[in-house]
Amino acid sequence: MRILVTGAGGFLGRGLIARIADALPQARRIVLTDRVVEGLGGAGVDTIAGDLSDPAFRRALLDPGFDLVFHLASIPGSLAEREQGLGLSVNLLAPIGLAEDVAARQPGARFVFASSIAVYGNLGEDTVTGATACQPELTYGAHKRMTEVLLSDMTRRGALSAISLRFPGLVARPATESGHGSAFMSQIFHQIAAGTPYACPIAADSTCWWMSRPAAVETLLWAARLADPGTTVVQPPVLHADLTSVAAATARITGQAARIDWGNDPVLRQIFGAMPPLDASPALALGFRADADLDALARAALSGDP
């Protein structure tokens, strides 16, 4: 089995490549790609640097084809909103070109796509189900949704066997990372663990959807292994909890006090902090799992692995 990971140098990518060789021992070849690949390689793993929106690069990269592709490469939502040309290239044209080229070399290849809950747009108070409409409110979410539609169609006609996974903001991203509007969701873990005061931009009763990077990595690997998913879009299970509860869990497992000054940013709250409950039963029936509970989430978020 030949495996390709795009966006391998990103937060999720680094988590995946630390697990991939163990988790998929049938791999005969593993190729990691990103714009910069220094430090990503290892025993039995090739790295190739390049730009996925460049057809010539894709041609070279995909020779002679892959059985399994994890397409993780994208730029974050707030950056894509500011830099529309870059967002179009990275978040839309590159996935279209990659999917078509992967299918041309290896029809029916499994294509695991890191989509996003940004596809939904503003959710009301109703529980999110498979019937929830997608009305993205950010260009990032629109491009993710377009890619989902493309991959569903390619799967229908046998060109690929694609699974799009709608990830929430993953925690805990490095304290230094920028470009994510959801940065506060990671900072809350880091700042409490460090014992430092933190000015959180939204209110304590804001409810988010939570998933640790280790849980996201297991979600990717599960999607890669599913023999017959019977669907092309999966909303993975998440933890649905308010910031107070997450702060309390983090304080509990770190032995620190949560010293948080809660804010009131209406835009961030609308996008990330007003999430309704999720009915994840379709994904649970397929075997996907969330973090076990908030303490497990906080531990995984702070594990620093890889």
Which residues face 210 on adjacent strands? 239
Q: Does 78 bind a second copy (CB under 8 A)?
A: no
Q: Does 227 bind a second copy (CB under 8 A)?
A: no
Sheet bearing 29-34, strands edge to edge: 45-49, 29-34, 2-6, 68-71, 109-116, 160-167, 233-234
Cα–Cα nearest to 23, from 39, 5, 49, 40? 5
- Choices 12-20, 89-97, 208-216, 274-282; region in contact with a second copy by CB under 8 A: 89-97
- Rounded to 10°, the helix 213-225/294-302 angle is 100
Check if 140 is active-site: yes
| Whether the Cβ atoms of residue 237 and residue 280 lie closer than 8 Å to each other | yes
Which residue in 1, 24, 101, 152 binds a second copy (CB under 8 A)?
152
Q: Does 79 bind a second copy (CB under 8 A)?
A: no
Which residues face 163 on adjacent strands? 112
| Nearer to a second copy among residue 103 and residue 211 (C-beta) | 103
| Count of residues engaged in binding a second copy, rule: CB under 8 A | 25
Kind of pairing, strands 68-71 and 198-200?
unpaired
3-state class (DSSP) for residue 48: strand
Q: Does 137 bind a second copy (CB under 8 A)?
A: yes
| Selected catalytic residue, list 11, 111, 113, 140 | 140
Helices (H), ranges, the chain:
11-23, 55-61, 77-82, 84-87, 94-105, 139-156, 183-194, 213-225, 243-254, 266-272, 281-285, 294-302
Q: Does 139 bind a second copy (CB under 8 A)?
A: yes
Q: Does 150 bind a second copy (CB under 8 A)?
A: yes
- Fill in the per-residue mask, 22 to 41: x = in contact with a second copy (CB under 8 A), - = not in contact: --------------------
> Virtual CA dihedral for 88, 89, 90, 91, nearest 10 degrees?
30
Residue 137 CB, shortest distance to a second copy, in Å, is 7
Token pair 């990830």 in the structure block, residue: 167
Q: Does 100 bind a second copy (CB under 8 A)?
A: yes
Two tokens at 172?
A: 């805990």
Q: Does 274 bind a second copy (CB under 8 A)?
A: no
Rounded CA separation 131/151 (Å): 18
Which residues face 298 on adjacent strands? none
- Choices 80-88, 163-171, 189-197, 259-267; region in contact with a second copy by CB under 8 A: 80-88
Q: Does 126 bind a second copy (CB under 8 A)?
A: no
Q: Does 153 bind a second copy (CB under 8 A)?
A: yes
Which residue in 43, 56, 133, 285 binds a second copy (CB under 8 A)?
133
Token pair 């399994």 in the structure block, residue: 68
Residue 236 CB, shortest distance to a second copy, in Å, is 20
Which residue in 49, 96, 248, 251 binds a second copy (CB under 8 A)?
96
| Nearer to a second copy among residue 150 and residue 253 (C-beta) | 150
| Nearer to a second copy among residue 144 and residue 173 (C-beta) | 144
Q: Does 157 bind a second copy (CB under 8 A)?
A: yes
Q: Which residues are catalytic?
A: 140
Residues that bind a second copy (CB under 8 A): 81, 84, 88, 92-93, 96, 100, 131, 133-139, 142, 145-146, 149-150, 152-153, 156-157, 159
